[in-house]
Amino acid sequence: MPRPDWLRQLRSKDVPADDATMWVKCPSCGEVLYRKDLEANLSVCSKCDYHFRMHAYDRINSLVDDDFIEIGETILPGDPLGWVDKRPYPQKLAKDREKSRLSEAVVTGFATLDGFPVALGVMDFNFRGGTMGTVVGERITNLLEEARKRSLPCIIFTASGGARMEEGMLALMQMAKTTHAVQRFMNDGNFYMTVLTDPTTGGVSASFAFQADVVIAEARASIGFAGRRVIEQTIRQKLPENFQTAEFLLEKGAVDMVVARPAIRDTLVRMLDYAVDRKRIAPALKAVPEFALQ
């Protein structure tokens, strides 16, 4: 089945190419990479293995068998605090939309991975630093509730600078809201996995990111509660190079595994195969009309 037009339009491959966008310099090793090659390699540098941050829709395309049926895209931000700093918050949001080609910092929906129907959420650092405002909280909660109704496994890719300052305490309360949704979802025996990508910090890492059955960290991702700068200022000394990296967390016992980007999809499929009884989720296929067409 072909992808919907709007999804095709969103793929960065289709952005008109000029010299500035055709070539990308790797910030780690300095190698100049042809953008199409880089994208074909899942935005991983072919020379040094540096993982570029990935656009949410590119990530989704790299994972799903065929279709991605987006839900929650009509849930959009307001401006509950009437927030103004250098610019009013609605203007900042408009700029983020333009820059990221996203309506908010998370994309949620249904898809199949190697035939497994799943609920899938992917956060994107390009939108307000992936911060969790009320829309992120609502979309994640909505995703978990819809997955629960259908007994679908749920996979969430996190990337976040924490709770969104511009929505104040309403943003912080999304930790409470998503925790409740995760708890209810898991309590029914549904399988929940998270993939922590660069960076996963603050209110997101201290709520639904670390509440999963299986927590996978993407190779080299920076993951922690407090930001590196905050810690350095508090203790007034420089932190070791590998502090708060995925590899550091694995060593400290905080995550189940560290997986390089090209192997993530297959790893997720294997985990689904261990934890999920295909027969149990078979009725889910019928509950999502688009899947029933296949």
Partner 1 sequence: MNVIVEREKGPLQELETRIAALRERGGAGPPADVAVLEAKYRALLEDLFGNLTPWERVNMARHPKRPIASDYLAALDQLDELHGDRHFRDDPAIVGGFAKLRGRRVMVLAQQKGRDTKENIRRNFGMVSPEGYRKAKRLIELATRFGLPIVSFVDTSGADPGIASEEHAQSEAIAACLTALAKATVPVVAAIVGEGGSGGALAIAMADTVIMAENAVYSVASPEGCAAILWGDSARAPEAAERLKLTSRDLHGFGIVDRVVEEPLGGAQRDAARFVERMLDAIDEELRRLEDRSGSELLDARYAKFRRIGAWQEAAQPAAAVVP
Count of residues that bind partner 1 according to CB under 8 A: 73
Which of 231/260 has CB closer to partner 1?
A: 231
Which single residue is written with the structure tokens 């299986």?
Answer: 214
Shortest Å distance, C-beta 75 to partner 1 = 5
Which of 117/161 has CB closer to partner 1?
A: 161
State how far Cα 65 lies from the chain centre. Answer: 18
Which of 190/201 has CB closer to partner 1?
A: 201
Which of 165/285 has CB closer to partner 1?
A: 165
Single-letter amino acid code for the residue at 76? L
Q: C-alpha distances in angstroms, 125 versus 52, 100, 158, 245, 292?
A: 11, 9, 9, 17, 33
Site for partner 1 in 27-66 (CB under 8 A): none
CA gap 181, 148 in Å, rounded: 9
Tokens of 292: 């029933």
User: What DSSP designation does 254 have?
Assistant: -
Which of 78/115 has CB closer to partner 1?
A: 78
Shortest Å distance, C-beta 50 to partner 1 = 23
Which of 211/281 has CB closer to partner 1?
A: 211
Residue 258 contacts residue 242 (beta carbons within 8 Å): no
Site for partner 1 in 100-159 (CB under 8 A): 101-103, 134-135, 137-138, 141
3-state secondary structure of 224: coil
Shortest Å distance, C-beta 193 to partner 1 = 15
Q: Is 165 in the site for partner 1 (CB under 8 A)?
A: yes
Q: Which helix (DSSP H) or strand (DSSP E) does residue 199 occupy?
A: strand 192-200
Shortest Å distance, C-beta 87 to partner 1 = 11
Of the candidate spans 19-27, 197-205, 267-275, 281-289, the one that interacts with partner 1 by CB under 8 A turns out to be 197-205
Which residues, in sequence order, are CB contacts of 121 under 8 Å at separation 6+? 106, 107, 108, 139, 140, 143, 154, 155, 156, 157
Gap between the terminal Cα atoms of the chain = 8
User: What DSSP designation does 44 have?
Assistant: B
Shortest Å distance, C-beta 286 to partner 1 = 26
Over the window 204 to 243, marking each residue x when it contacts partner 1 by CB under 8 A and - when it does not, the resulting string is -xxxxxxx-----------xxxx---xx--xx---x---x
Site for partner 1 in 169-188 (CB under 8 A): 169-177, 179-184, 187
